[in-house]
Amino acid sequence: MPRFVTTAIIGGMRSVHSVRAVYTALAVVPGVTTAEVVLGRAVIEHDGGATREALRAAIELAGCELLETTEERQRSLPLL
């Protein structure tokens, strides 16, 4: 199954509390498998089902703003 990695630039993150709030909000987005969140940025691994709109809604629910995203599709080689 293909794996996607989305890097999100996030505005309004000013404290550890906001980092936790964004992490918690992203954790319940359908398709998200992992999220690494630091001040101003999140790297989100997902199965392709986590749309930009769903990520934006989760980040806004946490009281922050999604400023920019980049998405990369990672493929794994089959085992022989």
Predicted confidence at residue 78, as pLDDT, reads 63
Measuring CA to CA, how many Å separate 76 from each of 2, 63, 71? 7, 35, 16
Classify domain 3-74 at the CATH topology level: Alpha-Beta Plaits (3.30.70)
Q: How confident is the prediction for the chain on average, in pLDDT?
A: 92
pLDDT at 33 > cutoff 80? yes
| Mean predicted confidence (pLDDT) in 12-25 | 96
Number of Cβ within 10 Å of residue 8's Cβ equals: 25
Query: In the structure, what pLDDT confidence band is assigned to residue 77 with cuts at 50, 70 and 90?
Result: low
Domain ranges of the chain: 3-74
